[in-house]
């Protein structure tokens, strides 16, 4: 068995989710190859070659792959993937965008967002907003799988010395083009990889009040997240949303501030090691999953918390 892992990157740096995906591949067993499809992504290929347990890195460097357009990347992955037993990608917006196209091109089904590997053909994945865990067995000739990063501890980023092999194939479908992007800039750790996450909900009342959470987060070295209510109300941008339709996180510590704890929000954070809820409504459902609950006015509790940590 040989497994192909699609690297998650922005042409400059390898995203940490790749390490969790390689960890899932290692659980399946067999040689692990990593594909870096991009443009001018030499640094990414070099980083991928250093990942512990990676046997080979395939580097497809072409203008057609610069923005990871699925119309161009999926045919490449499908072509290379034919010889592999499994094709894995992180369940990021990129991975989820590309991989179903790969599966359709190979005429196989895809298994989405696995959280554990039971055997080479059997996997566990959450369904119904995480309210049930399904065990599925696949008889597909090539198993095409997205991996939920929080289900697997990352492998070491250093220690490997894989060879980098250039792949010439260029696929440019010519049916889509990149127009532009607007990426949020933040000095705080990335939400899905942070050890501590501080999240605010509707109880924050407005966007300006998030400064209290930013101050606390900076003190803790934490990332800042939000509930759907806070995003819909325009307090913060939508890439900060934690939940079924946003990001899935499982940090060591999750501090939910002014968040009631709807099913859809819990789906994105209930695998956190320790959950703290700060809410003035003692009936809020968030207290049912919290390890430590504090019934208090957040505008008093947060500044005090910031002082004491």
Partner 1 sequence: MKVLVAVKRAIDPNVKVRVKADGSDVELNGVKMALNPFCEIAVEEAIRLKEKGLVSEVVVVSVGTSAAQEQLRTALALGADRALLVETSALLEPLNVAKYLSKVIDQEKPQLILFGKQAIDQENNQVGQMVAQLIGSGQATYASAVNHVDGQWVVEREVDGGSQVLALAMPAVVTCDLRLNQPRYASLPNIMKAKKKPLEIIAADTLGASVKEHARLLGVVPPAVRKAGINVGSVAELVDKLKNVAGVI
Q: What distance in Å separates the CA atoms of residue 64 and residue 282, rounded to the nearest whole number? A: 54
Region near partner 1 per CB under 8 A, out of 96-104, 149-157, 164-172, 206-214: 96-104
Per CB under 8 A, which of residues 154..213 are in contact with partner 1?
Answer: 173-184, 192, 196
CB atoms within 10 A of CB 234: 10
Per CB under 8 A, which of residues 231..290 are in contact with partner 1?
Answer: 231-232, 237-239, 244-245, 247, 252-253, 263-264, 270, 273-276, 287, 289-290
Q: What distance in Å separates the CA atoms of residue 287 and residue 90, rounded to the nearest whole number? A: 31
Give the shortest CB-150-to-partner 1 separation in angstroms: 13
Helix or strand run (H / E) with residue 263 = helix 263-266
Region near partner 1 per CB under 8 A, out of 49-57, 100-108, 159-167, 202-210: 100-108
The alpha-carbon radius of gyration of the chain (Å, integer) is 20
Total residues binding partner 1 (CB under 8 A) = 87
Our CB check for partner 1 shows the closer of 49 and 209 to be: 209
Per CB under 8 A, which of residues 104..163 are in contact with partner 1?
Answer: 104-105, 107-113, 122, 126-140
Give the shortest CB-25-to-partner 1 separation in angstroms: 20
Residue 163's DSSP bridge partners are 56
Question: Largest alpha-carbon pair distance within the chain?
Answer: 61
59: Cβ contacts below 8 Å, ≥ 6 apart = 36, 41, 42, 45, 164, 165, 166, 167
Contact pattern for partner 1 over residues 8 through 47, marking x by CB under 8 A: ----------------------------------------
Contact pattern for partner 1 over residues 51 through 90, marking x by CB under 8 A: ----------------x-xxx--x----------------
Region near partner 1 per CB under 8 A, out of 36-44, 80-88, 101-109, 160-168: 101-109
216 and 309 in contact (C-beta within 8 Å)?
yes
Q: What distance in Å separates the CA atoms of residue 253 and residue 291, rounded to the nearest whole number? A: 10
HSE-up of 198 (CA within 13 Å, CB side)? 23
Give the shortest CB-9-to-partner 1 separation in angstroms: 12
Which of 144, 143, 91, 122 lies closest to 250, judged by CA?
91
CA quadruple 246, 252, 253, 256: dihedral, nearest 10:
20
Our CB check for partner 1 shows the closer of 160 and 243 to be: 243
Determine if 301 is a binding residue for partner 1 (CB under 8 A): yes
Region near partner 1 per CB under 8 A, out of 21-29, 55-63, 103-111, 205-213: 103-111
Residue 279's DSSP bridge partners are 295
Our CB check for partner 1 shows the closer of 128 and 206 to be: 128
Our CB check for partner 1 shows the closer of 123 and 210 to be: 123
Distance from the Cα of residue 3 to its chain's centroid: 20
Our CB check for partner 1 shows the closer of 135 and 206 to be: 135
């Amino acid at each position: 068995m040989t497994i192909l892992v699609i690297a998650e990157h922005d042409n400059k740096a390898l995203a940490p989710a790749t390490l969790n995906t390689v960890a899932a591949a290692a659980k399946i067993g067999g040689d692990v190859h990593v594909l870096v499809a991009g443009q001018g992504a030499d640094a990414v290929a070099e980083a991928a070659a250093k990942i512990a347990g990676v046997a080979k890195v395939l580097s497809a460097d072409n203008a057609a792959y610069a923005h990871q357009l699925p119309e161009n990347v999926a045919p490449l992955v499908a072509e290379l993937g034919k010889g592999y037993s499994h094709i894995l990608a992180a369940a990021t917006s990129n991975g989820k965008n590309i991989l179903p196209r790969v599966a359709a091109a190979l005429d196989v089904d895809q298994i989405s967002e696995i959280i554990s590997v039971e055997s080479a053909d059997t996997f566990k994945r959450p369904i119904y907003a995480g309210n049930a865990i399904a065990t599925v067995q696949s008889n597909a000739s090539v198993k095409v799988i997205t991996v939920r990063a929080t289900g697997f501890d990352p492998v070491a980023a250093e220690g490997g010395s894989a060879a980098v092999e250039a792949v010439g194939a260029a696929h440019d479908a010519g049916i889509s083009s990149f127009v532009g992007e607007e990426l949020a800039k933040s000095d705080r750790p990335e939400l899905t990889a942070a050890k501590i996450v501080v999240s605010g909900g509707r109880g924050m009342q407005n966007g300006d009040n998030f400064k209290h959470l930013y101050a606390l987060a900076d003190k803790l070295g934490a990332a800042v997240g939000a509930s759907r209510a806070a995003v819909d109300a325009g307090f913060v941008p939508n890439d900060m949303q934690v939940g079924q339709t946003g990001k899935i996180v499982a940090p060591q510590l999750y501090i939910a501030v002014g968040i009631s704890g709807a099913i859809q929000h819990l789906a994105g954070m209930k695998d956190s090691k320790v959950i703290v809820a700060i809410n003035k409504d003692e009936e809020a459902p968030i207290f049912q999953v919290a390890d430590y609950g504090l019934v208090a006015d957040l505008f008093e509790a947060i500044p005090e918390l910031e002082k004491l940590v």
